[in-house]
Structure 1
Amino acid sequence: MVSLYPELDEGALVQVVQALRTGDTSKLAPARAAEVAETRETATFLDGVKVPVGEGVELDAALWLHNGEGPHPLIVMPSPWAKQGWTVYTVQAMRFARSGYHVLAYTTRGFGESGGEVEVAGEKDIADGIKALDHLISQAGGPDSVGKIGFLGDSYGSGISQLVAAEDPRVHAVVALSTWGDLGEAFYENGTRHVASVRTLLGAAATARLSARTQKAFDDVLANENVEETLEWAAERSPYHRVDKLNERRVPVLFAQAWHETLFPGNQTLKMFNALSGPKRLLWSIGDHSGPEMTGMVGLPNRIWHEAHRWFDRHLREVNGDEAAAAAFDSESGAEDQIVSEIMWGRALESRATWHAATGNPERFYLTGPSEGAKDGGLLDKPTNGWHTTFATGTDTPATVADRIIFTGYAELAGLPKAYLTGKIDRAAAGVWTSAPLPSRHQLRGVPRLRLTVAPSAPDTTFVAYLFDVNALGVARIITHAPYTLLGGTPKTPATVDIALQVTGYDVKAGHRLMLVVDSVDPFYDEPNGAPGTITITSPDEDPSYLEIPLS
């Protein structure tokens, strides 16, 4: 059994639920006991709620109904991809309830105590979210007794929340944490299968009940079969393909994403963010999937959950036309800005009005061939053409995305990013290009881009490009990366490709070097190279190869 929430204390959450139910807080820490007692005074808690959604299927849910005079705004919280179901939201649901919201958190179909089968945010999941909202409205006294409505989800629940908001005009605002915009791009980035993420999702759903169609989609990704069919399946489950419906009503959406997200890479969420025309905000953080918001789930201070509460306070509360009170935002803190980024590795927060304002100006580093007696090529400010670098395929190198999905991100959160010993990268199995020591700090903000002319020896070839920050001792930290797959090419015939590396917010210290590594194997991705061969990278006079980084 794999967990997407390895640091979540399930036992502690169960104790909180039991205390909410019975009033016995003796097993809780004093602060949590006080929180439970206050919640019981201000709201009615009901667990074991069964939400009928049709065809004999019921969803396991919990309700927090505020006791004060209404109408009250509503929040519906579909569960993550986790066996714990709705309980992961217990602490935050209590806090929403105490501040005046009616809340319903439910376990998505196929997981935990809910009926049905896992459809991966399919039409049945959208219908379930609508039925869950209907149930909350009925329990809160009917349509005339409630205020505005929000949907909030982490991970799996975040995609469902966006999709429900697109289809149900009653939804006024969304919070989507560790989310996806384009599921097809998450599964097939630059034509490359994310096999490790699919295996992780299957492992995390080991106790769930997958529908036959869901199982087929995952099996097809792993087997590299029926790609177009799977992409159509994924499109139906992608908020990006319903963004026009969200824009018609200008639904406010708050996103939170990690820079080194391995399940739903940042570029596809950024694409969704940029496609929205209504109020929107995007919080970038150090770490991997769901890690940055984890401390909030267990009740510790957490800026992402703090922003989620403020987002709903701003867009769901109605305080007699008092816009300042309704907003409850502190403009001096940059809360009106669309982009807030936690920069690697100093952890400073940068707030910018728009994504355009947050993105640096492009600066090109041209790839060059190795100088005499050297193994690595260079990254220079002017092109030097007429060279080529050839490396063998089929052998992994120490250049990898991460040691483990999720877990490497938790180490980053603890201030322990993975260290790469660049001297151990076998130059026979990788192309390596290194800059001179940087004369000043370089602030990378945005999407680095790579243009390469490659000539593989096989018609189908996958390679992975990594961008590293290297100190004077040759120890590196990963800035960003991207895979790329060429299919159906003519062997040893040059082809020029443009690759968007994953979005980043990273400061490279003065005196450090940038290092670009390209190799052919990474455990995170597929391996269509087949028998060992070669990849040659060159730089034609008319179209030089270069790395373009956005510098602030």
Structure 2
Amino acid sequence: EFIETAPGISIDTAQYLPKKLPAPAILIAHGFGGSKDSVESDAKFFASKGFVVMTWSARGFGESTGQIEMNSLDSEVADTRALISYLAKSKNVILDAKGDPRVGIMGSSYGGANALLTASQDSRIDAVVADITWSDLQQGLFPQAVARSFESGPFKKVWAGTFFSAVTLQGAYLGECGAFAQRWCDAYENAVLQGRPSPSEKKLLESVSPIRFAPTISAPTLLSQGQADSLFPLSESYKLAKEIKKTSAGTELSMIWHADGHDGSNAQAPYLREQFLFWFQKHLLDREIDFPVFQFTRSNGSISLQDSTVIPKVFTSEKLPFETEPRQLPLVTPTAALIYPIGGVPSAISALPGIGSAGALASQLLSNLAGFSPAFLPGQSGFLESAPLKEPISVVGPSSIKVRITSTTNDATLFFSLVSKSPGGAINLPNGIVAPVKISNISNGTKDVVINLPATVLDASIGDLLAVGISSTDQGYETPKTSRFYSVSPLSPLTYETSIATAAQSSSANFLWPLGAFASVVIAAMFVRIRRPKILPTKESSTALVAVTNLGKTYKDGHRAVVDLSFEVQRGQVVGLLGPNGAGKTTALRMMMGLIFPTKGSIYLNGESVYPGSPALSNIGSFIEGPGFLPHLSGRENLRLYWQSIGRDNEQHLDQVVAITKLGTALDKKVRTYSQGMRQRLAIAQSMLGMPDLLVLDEPTNGLDPQQIAEMRQVLKNYASTGRTVVISSHLLAEIQQTCSHVVLMHRGELIAFGPMEDLLSKNRRSQSLEEIFLELIGDDLVIGQETQ
């Protein structure tokens, strides 16, 4: 349906009705470049929850007429107010008074600004949800991080060009301005040519900035902003919330900082839709809903048991970031020096439209692997660093620092950020968000300023450095043409905000599937308990640490994986378990570790029988396949977490384990900085926790170079020298020959040879390699499933 909102202006609209009428209404505004069809999914969702929903295509978009005025009060906002009046005449919408429908409004980006500006002009609005939008459009396009500066910052040319071209490149016959009104087209052209807005253009940008109208926003307002957003970062909602609290104290206000944004995915879309629904149910349906004042997401959450992806973790607080007491951290770097190349080429890449967070992730990966970050080019960047942290720090909100900037010219353009640096040197720049600085008229080459760093959610661990990153270039912004030299020195500690928050409860959908999984596990456990063999702990009088007696395993398909296997292992031995593929090595190891039941025979450890659930298993350590560690934790933290996860604490042998494995100072470094050899060594250390009598290792030297293999060999020998035993399964015969004191050789499930390595090698009274002995005993019968001739 087309609705005429002004002479010559027809707005294309659509309505979605709930089952029960009349009902409160929700207006849903679309984003830049979209139309009413862009928000159809949201419209159907809210209609299904009992709301009348109206969507529309804004001026210059879809089938609507008119030109784009960037949410001018006299144009797009006036159109939205006309739609409210239209709803006031509808029998389907509940009225609070004559001409006053019960109505909420929501939108994202361009639509979010429309929602806020409409709410500031029309008291009939009863609830507002604004997501990933601007509060100050001048700050959005010419961001300036110098506190209390009236000078515009560097032009955000890449993002501005992306949006302008989205409208002007639809067809050549539309002209260079496309659907833009002439004054906005002229403003963009001047910004490109001059790199800054004129006084009249500043007024134009201010006229569509919600922060200017904060005193008249009285409806309950939910501000939602994305961390992965280099266009309208978290600071936009932070500043608007602070202004609303200051000038319109009676307005009910909540804020969400989620993990999505213009640069990110829609991973949290279901969570956000649920929160927006709660907000409208609370304020349009008068439901008793306890809605948090502040919610924020940490993206380094737990791992999903459903698809192994990282689950963003939501935290809640009853205070907004600016309502908490700020904290300070001294910086120890005296000065950072950086060059600006002529023309700004090459340029650092902090974020790019639509892939900012992905680019930041790629930068972090490069930093982890190669010690290089595209956001901080050598010579063009520097850091003002703290000392290594002695306790974790969580930054939630903006931070600031007073610095002295010197320049070889009378101006300076710089890009500041807050980063964490691991002990290995990896740089974490959250989502690639920077704080641009532009200073003119620098007298005597020096200027002292306070820099407002980006609002962010950043966690730094013990041993990390918190640092102010500085770059002289950034590809996303307009920068000077001539070269110059800068230096930046700290004049104050780093001041940062945090949040006293608690983890949010999961939604019902997320809560029910673990319950179902738990019930399934209980039923499965009961079934297994009924069917599993009834084995009572037994004792065996033997001097051997490990005694394997007549062991056999036959699977349901009749395959005999292990046949009548018997051998004994004494303390202090390093035993190699060898055999071709299909020999039964893995099955034997699984029975030795109590993972499966044997169909016949027994295994004893220290005279106690070994089987699934056996008390003897507490004295076995194992490392099977690749190590799995949390990369953002140190080696020590990973070991402690593992030890606690199996119900133990106060590992008294940790120092001994560290000494045996020679982890040294690496134990307190982040695992993501480890080489493959160090990861393998940490995995061996994990299996040694508690100093078990038996260590079972499957291919412990996989992926190691010769030097690392030699070091691993000594680690295993050192462990056995403490009076304990190591059993190794490996295909590397030469390595087994150099590492092991004894050998168990299996073929087709049977024991072919067992005894000291030196006896086996001197078989037939002549010196041979283990490979020669192996081939002599096995022959060419190396094919899995090959029939015996």
TM norm structure 2: 0.54
The one-letter amino acid paired with 2:428 is: R
Query: Matches of 2:409 and 2:214 in 1, distance apart?
Result: 39
Match of 1:482 among 429, 435, 443: 435
Q: For residue 580 of structure 2, what is the aligned residue in structure 1?
A: none
For each residue in 1:14-35, what CA deviation from the matched residue of structure 2 results, as whole angstroms up to 9, or x when unmatched?
xxxxxxxxxxxxxxxxxxxxxx
Residues 1:215 and 2:165 aligned together: no
Is the Cα contact below 8 Å between 1:78 and 1:105 reproduced in 2?
yes
Is the Cα contact below 8 Å between 1:162 and 1:174 reproduced in 2?
yes
Query: Matches of 2:52 and 2:470 in 1, distance apart?
Result: 52
Query: Matches of 1:410 and 1:358 in 2, distance apart?
Result: 32
Query: Matches of 1:155 and 1:53 in 2, distance apart?
Result: 23
More displaced 10-residue stretch of structure 1: 307-316 or 272-281? 272-281
Is the Cα contact below 8 Å between 1:259 and 1:286 reproduced in 2?
yes
After TM superposition, the structure 1 = structure 2 runs for residues 148-297 of structure 1, keeping only pairs within 5 Å, are 148-190=102-144, 191-192=152-153, 193-205=155-167, 206-207=169-170, 209-223=179-193, 224-246=195-217, 250-276=218-244, 277=249, 278-289=251-262, 291=264, 293=266, 296=269
Q: For residue 21 of structure 1, what is the aligned residue in structure 2?
A: none
Match of 1:341 among 296, 311, 332: 296
Structure 1 residues 245 and 389, CA, compared in 2 at 3 Å: closer, same or farther? closer
Query: Matches of 2:359 and 2:383 in 1, distance apart?
Result: 26
Q: For residue 368 of structure 1, what is the aligned residue in structure 2?
A: 333
Q: For residue 10 of structure 2, what is the aligned residue in structure 1?
A: 58
Q: For residue 277 of structure 2, what is the aligned residue in structure 1?
A: 309
Tell me the SS of whatever aligns to 2:382: strand
Match of 1:120 among 42, 56, 70: 70
Structure 1 residues 67 and 459, CA, compared in 2 at 3 Å: closer, same or farther? same
After TM superposition, the structure 1 = structure 2 runs for residues 20-59 of structure 1, keeping only pairs within 5 Å, are 49-59=1-11
For each residue in 1:42-73, what CA deviation from the matched residue of structure 2 results, as whole angstroms up to 9, or x when unmatched?
xxxxxxx1121222121122111334242x11
Tell me the SS of whatever aligns to 1:219: helix
Match of 2:476 among 520, 524, 535: 524
Q: For residue 446 of structure 2, what is the aligned residue in structure 1?
A: 494
What is the aligned-residue RMSD (CA, Å)? 2.6
Query: Matches of 2:264 and 2:79 in 1, distance apart?
Result: 27
For each residue in 1:183-221, what CA deviation from the matched residue of structure 2 results, as whole angstroms up to 9, or x when unmatched?
121122113222222112113324361111111222222
After TM superposition, the structure 1 = structure 2 runs for residues 83-94 of structure 1, keeping only pairs within 5 Å, are 83=34, 85-94=35-44
Query: Matches of 1:243 and 1:475 in 2, distance apart?
Result: 41
Is the Cα contact below 8 Å between 2:350 and 2:356 reproduced in 1?
no
- Between the aligned residues of both structures, percent identity stands at 20
Task: Work out the number of aligned pairs and report it.
Answer: 454
More displaced 10-residue stretch of structure 1: 218-227 or 356-365? 356-365
Query: Matches of 2:60 and 2:481 in 1, distance apart?
Result: 37
TM norm structure 1: 0.76
Query: Matches of 1:115 and 1:531 in 2, distance apart?
Result: 45
For each residue in 1:525-544, what CA deviation from the matched residue of structure 2 results, as whole angstroms up to 9, or x when unmatched?
220x33111112245xxxx2
Instruction: For structure 2, list consecutive stretches of 5 or more residues without a partner in the other structure.
Output: 145-151, 171-177, 302-311, 500-789
For each residue in 1:206-263, what CA deviation from the matched residue of structure 2 results, as whole angstroms up to 9, or x when unmatched?
43611111112222222225432222111110111111111xxx31011110124211
For each residue in 1:108-150, what CA deviation from the matched residue of structure 2 results, as whole angstroms up to 9, or x when unmatched?
1001211111100112011110112223333445756985111
The one-letter amino acid paired with 2:441 is: G
The one-letter amino acid paired with 2:353 is: I
For each residue in 1:485-538, what CA deviation from the matched residue of structure 2 results, as whole angstroms up to 9, or x when unmatched?
001223x521101111111122112222223321211012220x3311111224
Query: Matches of 1:257 and 1:504 in 2, distance apart?
Result: 11
Is the Cα contact below 8 Å between 2:21 and 2:92 reproduced in 1?
no
Structure 1 residues 289 and 453, CA, compared in 2 at 3 Å: closer, same or farther? same
Structure 1 residues 397 and 343, CA, compared in 2 at 3 Å: closer, same or farther? farther
Comparing both chains, which one has the higher relative contact order based on Cα–Cα distances under 8 Å and sequence gaps of 6 or more? Answer: 1
Q: For residue 386 of structure 2, what is the aligned residue in structure 1?
A: 435
Q: For residue 44 of structure 1, what is the aligned residue in structure 2?
A: none
Match of 2:86 among 116, 121, 135: 135
The CA deviation at 1:472 is 3.2
Instruction: For structure 1, list consecutive stretches of 5 or more residues without a partner in the other structure.
Output: 1-48, 297-301, 318-325, 370-387
Structure 1 residues 181 and 145, CA, compared in 2 at 3 Å: closer, same or farther? closer
Structure 1 residues 545 and 392, CA, compared in 2 at 3 Å: closer, same or farther? farther
Residues 1:96 and 2:46 aligned together: yes
Query: Matches of 1:95 and 1:255 in 2, distance apart?
Result: 20
